[in-house]
Amino acid sequence: MVIEDRRDTRHWSGSAAIVGVGYRVSRETEKPPTPLRLILEACVDALRDAGVEREKVQALFATRAPVADQHPQFNVKIGTELGLTTRFSTEVTQHAAGTIASLKYAMLAVNSGIVDYALCCGGDTSNLWIQGTRRVGATAFHDSDPQFETPYGPSMIGIYAQHAIRYMHEYGATEEHFARVAVEHRRWAVAHPQAVMRSKGLITVKDVLASPMIAYPIRLFECSPRLPQGSAGALLVTRAEIAREICERPIYILGVGECSTNEYASDRLSLLGTRSFERPTYTESGLTLAATDAYDMAGLGPKDLDVVQCVSNFSSIFLTVIEDLGLCARGEAAAFVETGGIDFESGLPVNTNGGHLGFGHPGPSMNMDSLVEGVRQLQRRAVGKQVEGARVCLVHGTGAPLLGCNAVAILGTERPN
């Protein structure tokens, strides 16, 4: 992939910080909560965590409206229920990547002088989400090209299987490599009390390969499970100067980047000749551009990361993700995983709540779980295994099939000098 020259954005690094975190994971079975209820509870928790009155919040950035509650202008609905009078508000809707991208909007908002505090929030409930998608057939109905893909009746797993097969062809990866990804994610999940796969226990490569084939070469244990009753999160962002006054341990936004390349999987093949891609491919994505922007703003690189929270809705796509993030060279992710690069005990801490493969998938707002987990690790408030000495965390979110929309945030415990 060709990386074009970027403008100097270093002056933005650390100019804003997260001072409040709210998060809800529902376990209610008799009367599952609505996404709105979970989001509102998370927002209230974030304000209480920061000790900030709601009257001071004048910017609200909601992620993509939950599939379980397709209410137009969902950001306005949230603001109304919270009793906010906002001066700057919108939905950030690069599919689910908007969850991470909202931090950039918040950073720009608080540094513009228009507002002092910005609230970023999102959530969904998987049970209601599944009911909603069944009304239109399947999730892939929304995420497949109506002219060139939908007539063939694709499933979402079938779309991702195309990537897996191509990756195996180009780089020699095997089903055992994909299985190893699932094994390591499960180890983190077993250590996290809120992970949906915690009760299922540890698994081996042999267990993964013995699980049912869903769409070759993707097997059952290589697919993200549903987080049945859903989750929601909220983050309160303010300028660094205010953050130091009201928060004992602010988490600074060191770098942000985003890139959207395609709405549907087959669109990726039309990118030949653009400034960003040397060739049309399923095994490289615009995530490289998003990550480059984030690294450049932060003045950091992959070797500076202590923790990584990234997309892992299928074990095969995870290999492309860590390559695009620069954690290993192109085509070397399989070897990186095989030689212990992401091992639970000795490798780089990746997806410390179990990721989507182990923690669960609540719906299109899935990246909020990763974002909250990253912040909590830096705050030394991890619910599962705490990564000791973590100072820098990269969080990645994606949306649209095969990494079509991507956003990256690099967070840190210290503001750059």
Position 135 scores a pLDDT of 41
- The vertex-300 CA angle with 252 and 245, nearest 5°, equals 15
Position 151 scores a pLDDT of 87
Position 75 scores a pLDDT of 95
226: confidence class by pLDDT, cuts 50, 70, 90: confident
Q: What is the pLDDT of residues 370-384, one digit of tens each?
A: 999 999 999 999 999
Position 353 scores a pLDDT of 97
Q: What is the pLDDT of residues 68-116, one digit of tens each?
A: 788 889 999 999 999 999 999 999 988 889 999 999 999 999 999 999 9
Position 175 scores a pLDDT of 98
Pairing of strands 392-399, 307-309: parallel
pLDDT at 194 over 90: yes
pLDDT at 144 over 90: no
Most distant CA atoms of the chain, gap in Å: 58
Six-digit token pair at 102?
A: 């909202």
Considering only residues 199 and 127, tell me which one the structure prediction assigns the higher pLDDT. 199
Choose the weakest-confidence range: 31-40, 41-50, 65-74, 344-353: 65-74
| Cis peptide upstream of residue 146 (ω within 30 degrees of 0) | no
137: confidence class by pLDDT, cuts 50, 70, 90: very low
Name the percent of the chain lying above pLDDT 70: 92
Position 268 scores a pLDDT of 82
Give Cα 74 to chain centroid, integer Å: 20
pLDDT at 299 over 90: yes
Q: For residue 40, which amino acid is it?
A: L
134: confidence class by pLDDT, cuts 50, 70, 90: very low
Domain segments of the chain: what residues?
A: 10-131
Give Cα 325 to chain centroid, integer Å: 13
Position 68 scores a pLDDT of 78
Total number of residues shown for the chain: 417
Position 130 scores a pLDDT of 55
pTM reported for the whole predicted model: 0.94
- Output the average pLDDT for the chain: 91
Whether 173 and 323 have beta carbons less than 8 Å apart is answered as no
Choose the weakest-confidence range: 23-37, 298-312, 387-401: 23-37
Position 231 scores a pLDDT of 92
pLDDT at 274 over 60: no
Q: If DSSP codes are grouped into helix, strand and coil, which group holds residue 316?
A: helix
Position 66 scores a pLDDT of 86
Q: What is the pLDDT of residues 381-396, one digit of tens each?
A: 999 999 999 999 999 9
| Cis peptide upstream of residue 217 (ω within 30 degrees of 0) | yes
Six-digit token pair at 11?
A: 């002056």
**φ and ψ at residue 392, rounded to 5 degrees:** -130, 130
CATH architecture of 10-131: 3-Layer(aba) Sandwich (3.40)
241: confidence class by pLDDT, cuts 50, 70, 90: very high
Q: What is the rounded average pLDDT of the residues 195-207? A: 97
Six-digit token pair at 163?
A: 């990537």
pLDDT at 133 over 50: no
